[in-house]
Structures are given as C-alpha cells and as structure tokens.
Structure 1
Amino acid sequence: MIRSSAADQALAPPTGPEAAIGADPAAPAAQPEVLRLVRVSRARLRGSAMDELFAARQRVHGEGRVPGLCGAVLHVAGWFVLWQEGPETAIEAALKTASRRRHEVPRILHRSFGPRTLHEPLTLSATQWLEGPVPFERRIDAVAQAAGTMHPQDVWRVLSKPCTLTPPAILPSLDRRFGLLAAHDQRAIERARRIADHFDRPLVYRRFADAAPGTSDFGAAYLDLPLHDRTLRVQAVSRRAFGHPLVHEALRPADRLVLLVGEQARPTLELAAGMAGFLRRMDPRAVIELVAQDAAVGAAVADVLRGQVSAALSLREAALSEAQLVALLLGAAAQVPAA
C-alpha cells in the first residue's frame, strides 16, 4: 500500500466533533463498551442492490434478528460493507449466520471494543459510481492496513464515500475542505450535477434508507474538486437527509453550507430546522450562505437559523452560476478552480 504524505495524521482517531458522529446525543456519557466490527464481502446480486438491502433489513426484523445487535450495511462497487455493534455474543452469532448463508467467509477489516455509535437494527446505503469490484478491492486492502488506527466510522467513511481524485491503493488525506449544498427538494443534487459537469468531475450518487421496514430510500450526491492547497468535497442533500443519523454519519462537518431557498416557505423552513439540528450536533462554527429566490422566504429562513444556531449567516437574493456557488462553498476570498 502507498500512503499519501498526510495519511498518518489524517487517519488518526478524531478528537473533535467528528468523534461523536453517530453517537446518540441523548445517551448518558458513560456507556458500556460493545464490540464494533466492520467487514466486507463480494456482492452476489440476484437483482438490484437496493432490493438486496431491503431484504436484509426485513430479515433483521424477523427470525434473523439478533438481540442487542445494531448495524449499517452498504453496497458499493460490487461489494457489501457491514458495520455492526453489540455484545460480543451477538456479533459472534451474526458471523456464524453470515458464514452459513454465504459461500465465502466475510473479511474483517476492523474489530474493537468501545462506546456504541449505532442505535438501529440495520440502516441501509448504496454508493453508485463507475469503479468496479477489482479496483475497489485495492481500496479495501489499503483500509485494512490502516484500520487498526481508525475508528469504525472512519473505515465506513473511506469505503462509503471514496475519493474520486485518489488512486484505489492510496488512502486519501482527510485534510480537505467540506462544503454542503442543501435544498428542500432535488435542486441541490441537480446543482451539484451541473457543478460536476462544469468542472468535468464525476458526480457520485448515494442512496439511504432507515431501519423501519417498508420505508423508501432517498438520495444524496457528492463530487471532489482539486484545489491548489487541498481538495474540496461538495456534498449535496435534500430536506429528508437531515432526519437520518446515517446521513449525519456520511456528512463530514462542513466549513461552509449553502442553502438554496425556494419560493415555498413551509418545506424550506422545515429544511432550515433540520439543518439547525445538524449544526448543533456537528459543528456550530460553520458559515451559512442563504441563496434565496424569494426575499420574504429567505428572510424568514434566516430568522429561524439565527434563532437556533450561532453560525455566521449571510443572505443573498440572486441566482448564482456553478462557479459562483463553488466560490461560496470556498469562501469569498478563495480561488475558484479553473473550468
């Protein structure tokens, strides 16, 4: 494995707000330790990946339920990634069940004892991009060599949101800028697609579903932009994303957030409330830029956010180009990458 020069520092266990990602904010500070396991296996799909994930979710609510076991499962590039937490007996029972169901033994990337960060039987996600199973296995090999110094959520992040600028065998530096583009509808993802097209970068799509049987999935997306000093990851989400802990796990604390405010007051105010909860949990120091189509709705959203979070906030009443949106995500004085 080849590491980037900043990998050792970037993959050290987090000590700031990122260390609490996935934690239940209402839980007491002192919790009994559980066994945390992240394992991978090749996906032998008989249908769509989401259909397979929905079937797995149904099993954990039936006879396949292991008491005390919580988990998150991901499909990416022809692989399943499973992150589980619970009593050691529950984890061992799940491993035995998996070995009976599959022809190959799952590969364990991370095994540690620590505080519980998962609280649902099984949440679902899928990452959709062009990398195939063989190149992705090189990513798995790179993670396996560093997994002993990583938290389970770090292993999950690297595999669930691969860096599109880094070769498979190189672990990406986590020393990146992060920007969040949000709207109450699919507008944020559409603008992210246009940004990706403008800068000739791939857009990676993601699907999520929570643990409740019968609930539908919803989408998010991201792209990576090369900068002179460090990478910018633009993450795009809709209103539904802020109500799901697994999406909070996927969204790294952003330096700047751009909220696209439409003309419909109610859904946009609901988005603002969800964003405020996300910021209080993740990083209240972020900068919020409101880009409003309607001045009155924009002002109402600004009032809601100012009353709930301490983040710096600016309101702009103008349509912006893709390059201008990227400039907002970087900060007004930052240099925009060349198209």
Structure 2
Amino acid sequence: MIRFSARRGVSPTIAPEESIGSATPPVPDGQGVLRVVRVSRAEVRGSAMDELFAARRRVQGPGRVPGLCGAVLHVAGWFVLWQEGPEAVIEAALKPPARGRHAVPRVLHRSFGPRTLQEPLVLSTTQWLEGPVPFERRIEAVATAPSMRPQDIWRVLSEPCTLTPSTVLPDLDRRFGLLASDDQRAIERARQLADHFNRPLVYRRFADATPGTSDFGAAYLDLPLSGRPLRVQAVSRRAFGNPLVHEALRPADRLVLLVGEQSRPALELAAGMATFLQRVGPPAAIEVVAEDAAVGTAVADFLRGQVNAGITLRETAIGEAQLVASLIGVAAAP
C-alpha cells in the first residue's frame, strides 16, 4: 500500500481536449513515443459526456495536431489527459499558450515507451460518489508512487477502488470477473449485485474517436470477499470495439456471458469476446447463460473453436449468489 504525502496543489481548469491531436502515423519498429499524463480541475456545465463530445468535434477540425493520439477522462470534477506521440509534437503540446484562458495542467507522468493509444481522441467518464477534494488525494497517491506506466495511472484514476480510501493506492492482488451480455443485462445484473451486497456501483461511459458516434456504458463493483477481493466488470457487446475498454478490462479469472434469444447479437458478443481474449489471454473458465438453448449452444460452440478455456452452458436463470459463485469459481450455497 502506498500512502498519501502532501504536495503542491493542482492548477485548475483546462479544456478537455487541450493539445490532444489527430491521426497518427505508425512508429517505426524499435522506436518509442513520448507519453504524458496530465490532470486538471474541470468546470463542466451540464453533461460531462456532452462536453467531451464537443472536444472531440474540435480536435477533428482544422486545429488538429498530426502525430498525436490522446484519451480524455472526466471523473469527480477532474479531467485526466493521456497523450502519446513524437517528442517534438508532445513538447509543443505541453508548451502553455501565450494567452491561454485555462491554467496549465499538472504533469503526473512523462516517459518514452511503446505506444498504447492509436486514435486521435477517445473519451471516457467515471461516475461515482467521490468529490474533487478526495479525488485530489487519489491524484497525490499516484504522484508519490514509484514509477508507474501511463496505462496504470489511467486505470487507478479512471477505475477507483471502492474498498480503499482515496489516500491509498489499491492492492491489485484481487480476482477479476467479467460479466458480459449481448444487450444491457450485464450492467443491470451488476446493479442488482451491488444492491444485494450493499456495495457502490461505479458507472463508466465510453466513446471512440469517430465524430458523431454515440457513447455506451459499462460498470463495476468491488466485493470484499474473504481471501482476495473480487471486482465484477460488466459490459455489453459494444464494449469490445473500444480501445479504452480493452485497457479498462483486466484479464479476468472467469467470465459469465448472458445471451438472449437472438443469435446475431449473441454471436457478435462471442466474436468480440474471442478477439479480446486472444489479446489478453484466456480465463480459467467461461460460463454461457442462455435464454434460448440453440443460441447458447451456438455461442458455446463458437467460443470452443476460438478460445482455449473450459466452457460450460447453463440454460436456466441465475441468481445473485450463483452469479458471484460462477465469477469466483466456487459452488453456490443452496
């Protein structure tokens, strides 16, 4: 555990897209990019996602910066900006404007390394009950931590642990379970789990860099189970096409897929899941919970051909206790 020590405060307010750029040419083999993570207090009037959509429109216009990729997050009254690109481009982005109307943000991380971001500007918000001041303590915990990769900083700030205070970075020795569905049922089931166990549910919104595309949701909750805590990550099939979601989803120990009566969305979910698992590695087990036997069988057969993991098919409803048991790999109490 890493505890908080006081440091200089963070200068408030920068526009969410400040210096986040456009299409990026590939980096030649053997060369890294400059990676920077910055934070600033946000003053958002109305919907945070609408504010980020406006930022996306602006960076796709004539002010775009070639060679720069970025991600922007709104959480607890703060903006977090993660940028990657050639050194000269990043240096120009970090230079404060001569007559800027926004304060200069604080740089939390600066390093050279392999590229993670591939799009001009991807968007994300995190919604839960933490205000700007407690979140600033979380920022300070990151700032005083030993060396962290930019994606690790992004995860700590975009996915706060609900089991630890804001002054303490979470212990990552936990179990991760992934609950996915071909519609919004995964998020609804996560909400039911949170209610059942009296735990907060953290909602997230994502959008990619394509102008005019809509956002979609995800959610997670932390359960303080004996031994190692469990984080239940809940997503719909649309999630697997977004690069920030791939960064957000930790490789899960176990997966539960909820599929309905329509084969097309169910198989789209299975295909997205297979692509994701081929990148991060297979879990110990996958359980397919199906409303329709034929659809469930088709999904299970498809996954068996794509993923090296034990796959079981359940054709009955599953309650909260059974769902948690499936996600941690134990038998549910009768």
TM-score (norm: length of structure 1): 0.88
Q: Which residue of 1 aligns with 2:313?
A: 315
Deviations 1:18-71 (A, max 9, x none): xxxxxxxxx899342110000000001133211111121112211221111001
Deviations 1:131-157 (A, max 9, x none): 0000000000000111x5111000000
Q: Which residue of 2 aligns with 1:64?
A: 63
Task: Measure, in 1, the Cα distance between the counterparts of 2:118 and 2:111.
Answer: 17
Q: Which residue of 2 aligns with 1:48?
A: 47
**Number of residue pairs aligned between Structure 1 and Structure 2:** 313
Q: Which residue of 2 aligns with 1:12?
A: none
Q: Which residue of 2 aligns with 1:121?
A: 120
- Correspondence list, 1:30-109, <5 A: 30-96=29-95, 100-109=99-108
Taking a change above 3 Å as real, the CA distance of residues 105 and 265 of structure 1, as seen in their structure-2 partners, is same
Preserved CA contact (<8 Å) 1:66 1:93: no
Secondary structure, in 3 states, of the residue corresponding to 1:259?
A: strand
* 2:157 aligned residue (153, 156, 159): 159
Preserved CA contact (<8 Å) 1:210 1:244: yes
Give, as a single letter, the amino acid of the residue that structure 2 aligns with 1:94: A
* 1:289 aligned residue (287, 295, 299): 287
Task: Measure, in 2, the Cα distance between the counterparts of 1:309 and 1:99.
Answer: 54
Would you identify which runs of 4 or more consecutive aligned residues in structure 1 move more than 6 Å?
none
Q: Which residue of 1 aligns with 2:224?
A: 226
**1:271 to partner: Cα distance:** 0.4
Preserved CA contact (<8 Å) 1:128 1:204: yes
Give, as a single letter, the amino acid of the residue that structure 2 aligns with 1:258: V
Q: Which is helix-richer, 1 or 2? A: 1
Taking a change above 3 Å as real, the CA distance of residues 125 and 111 of structure 1, as seen in their structure-2 partners, is same
Deviations 1:178-221 (A, max 9, x none): 00000010000000000000000010100000001111100000
Preserved CA contact (<8 Å) 1:31 1:116: no
Give ranges in structure 1 of 5+ residues lacking alignment.
Answer: 5-26
Identical-pair percentage: 78
TM-score (norm: length of structure 2): 0.89
Task: Measure, in 1, the Cα distance between the counterparts of 2:333 and 2:105.
Answer: 45
Task: Measure, in 1, the Cα distance between the counterparts of 2:172 and 2:192.
Answer: 25
- Residue 207 (1) aligns with residue 215 (2): no
Task: Measure, in 2, the Cα distance between the counterparts of 1:113 and 1:232.
Answer: 33
Preserved CA contact (<8 Å) 2:194 2:221: yes
Secondary structure, in 3 states, of the residue corresponding to 1:30?
A: coil
Task: Measure, in 2, the Cα distance between the counterparts of 1:101 and 1:264.
Answer: 53
Secondary structure, in 3 states, of the residue corresponding to 1:268?
A: helix
Q: Which residue of 2 aligns with 1:136?
A: 135
Task: Measure, in 2, the Cα distance between the counterparts of 1:46 and 1:191.
Answer: 31
**1:100 to partner: Cα distance:** 4.9
Preserved CA contact (<8 Å) 2:122 2:209: yes
Preserved CA contact (<8 Å) 1:286 1:312: yes
Secondary structure, in 3 states, of the residue corresponding to 2:95?
A: helix
- Residue 110 (1) aligns with residue 109 (2): yes
- Residue 270 (1) aligns with residue 268 (2): yes
Deviations 1:269-290 (A, max 9, x none): 1100110001001112441111
Taking a change above 3 Å as real, the CA distance of residues 89 and 188 of structure 1, as seen in their structure-2 partners, is same
Task: Measure, in 2, the Cα distance between the counterparts of 1:100 and 1:290.
Answer: 57
Q: Which residue of 1 aligns with 2:298?
A: 300
**1:248 to partner: Cα distance:** 0.4
Q: Which residue of 2 aligns with 1:8?
A: none
